[in-house]
Structure 1
Amino acid sequence: MSYQKPRSQNDYKDLIWSLAPLVLICLVIAGIASQCSFSTGGPKQGQIPNFDAKAALTDDARLMPFPIRLPALPNDGDDKWTPNSGSHFTITGTGGGDVSTVGYITPQGTYMQLSQSNATADAMAKKYAPTPKATGTQQHGDHMWSVYAEQGSESAWIADFGDVRVLIKGAGNGDAFDTLATAVVRAQPLPRG
């Protein structure tokens, strides 16, 4: 005759002893699948994906109906900006147009987005900015950048270069925005066709 306690007499110790084998099995499966790791020093910066911004923007310059610029950003040492992503798509609706985007990781490890488009500044602000109205301006070279900022959101800067609007957005600090804006202003449009 086996002894089994009535349910009313079970307590937290019984629950722990029942769950312990399940937790152990889950950890073993996750370890075998290499889906978890333990780091005593906390999270660490992962590998930044390799992305060829020059090739992507050169292709976009041939395909897009507006001029594309390749900003000359620092690419070595402690000031290195690393391109990590890119895309192109269309903003639909009033004032929409084609968009070429490249993402960069700053030397501080933050993400900055550079988008170039033949869409209107209003359409770009509606798509990317944290607020629909500009909250300030920044002058870089001959270009005035409209600043869209809202507490708790990533800021966005938009400048009109005539036949192209340029947007900078990201989690970077003021120096990151200044560096990217200055590099875009200094860059000449890439050859088309």
Structure 2
Amino acid sequence: MFTNTRDLIISLGVLLVVMFFSVGFTGMCSFNPGSADKSGPVQEVDIDTILKTDARGLGIPVRLPAFPDNWEANSGRRTMVDNEPSSKAGWVIDGEAFLALTQTVAELKDAVNDEDGEYREETDTFVVPASKSSTGEDVTWQIWSGDDVKQIWAVDLGDVRLLISGTATQAQYRTMAEAVTKAEPLETGAASSTPGVPTPTE
């Protein structure tokens, strides 16, 4: 009953100061002003090993694209796309932009819709000429767009569907599309027992 507003403010101030110094001395926190993508170096991953392991483990034709030196692989994992085991990897470009590549056997439209649940429709296409394609034919990527959602580029290569998504320029999207289309499928492993994953031929 003898405590007023001034006493409460002083008590809270002292408590905050004690917490600041106590937590600061542990070294378990840091303050990095600015946007997240510029707060520190990119944590690189061994994308070659990750994608080769995915190809053998999933039994699907995973591709390992070659990118310029300013593209740094920072993530790689197995994921589920429309209930199908799939591979997803990401690259940071110039320490700022980001693009992810999903490789799956799910149907193309289902894979696009499964990305984040947002509505998109096909708005444009991008053709990779036969001279830059491992298939020896022109490859047409579908560009899916929507209101306030990230763009998705997708293509159906018959035995696998490829999706590109992220925060990058159109030129960077094109670079990834061309690199992935040019890459040969990696060697797959033994036949998978997972429904929906094709069995590799001998």
Bucket of the pairwise TM-score, normalised by the shorter protein: 0.7 to 0.9
| Counterparts in 2 of 1:61 and 1:42: CA distance versus 1, 3 Å | closer
Residue from 156, 160, 163 that aligns with 1:167:
163
Aligned to 1:120: 107
Aligned to 1:54: 48
Q: Shift of residue 188 of structure 1?
A: 1.1
TM-score normalised over the length of structure 2: 0.78
In the alignment, structure 2 segments of 5+ residues that lack a partner are 130-137, 190-202
Partner-residue secondary structure (3-state), 2:40: coil
Query: Which of the pair has more CA radius of gyration?
Result: 1
Structure 1 moving runs of 4+ over 6 Å: none
Aligned residues: 178
Q: Shift of residue 25 of structure 1?
A: 1.0
Asked if 1:81 is matched to 2:76, the reply is no
In structure 2, give the amino acid aligned to 1:47.
P
After superposition, give the CA deviation of every residue in 1:44-87 in whole Å (9 maximum; x if it has no partner): 43232231111111112222232111111012xxxx11111111
| 8 Å Cα contact 2:42/2:95 also seen in 1 | no
In structure 1, give the amino acid aligned to 2:76.
G
Aligned to 2:193: none
Q: Shift of residue 131 of structure 1?
A: 2.2
Partner-residue secondary structure (3-state), 2:75: strand
2-structure distance, mates of 1:118, 1:57? 15
In structure 2, give the amino acid aligned to 1:138.
F
Question: Bigger relative contact order, structure 1 or 2, given CA contacts below 8 A and separation 6+?
Answer: 2
| 8 Å Cα contact 1:131/1:148 also seen in 2 | no
Aligned to 1:15: 8
In the alignment, structure 1 segments of 5+ residues that lack a partner are none
After superposition, give the CA deviation of every residue in 1:116-147 in whole Å (9 maximum; x if it has no partner): 11111022111116424322222223211111
Asked if 1:99 is matched to 2:99, the reply is no
TM-score normalised over the length of structure 1: 0.81
Asked if 1:31 is matched to 2:36, the reply is no
Partner-residue secondary structure (3-state), 1:134: strand
Partner-residue secondary structure (3-state), 1:125: helix
Identity across aligned pairs (percent)?
31
In structure 1, give the amino acid aligned to 2:127.
Q
Moved more, 134-143 or 63-72: 134-143
| 8 Å Cα contact 2:81/2:104 also seen in 1 | no
2-structure distance, mates of 1:90, 1:20? 48
After superposition, give the CA deviation of every residue in 1:127-180 in whole Å (9 maximum; x if it has no partner): 116424322222223211111222322111110111110000001111221111
| 8 Å Cα contact 1:138/1:147 also seen in 2 | yes
Aligned to 1:136: 124
| Counterparts in 2 of 1:151 and 1:108: CA distance versus 1, 3 Å | farther
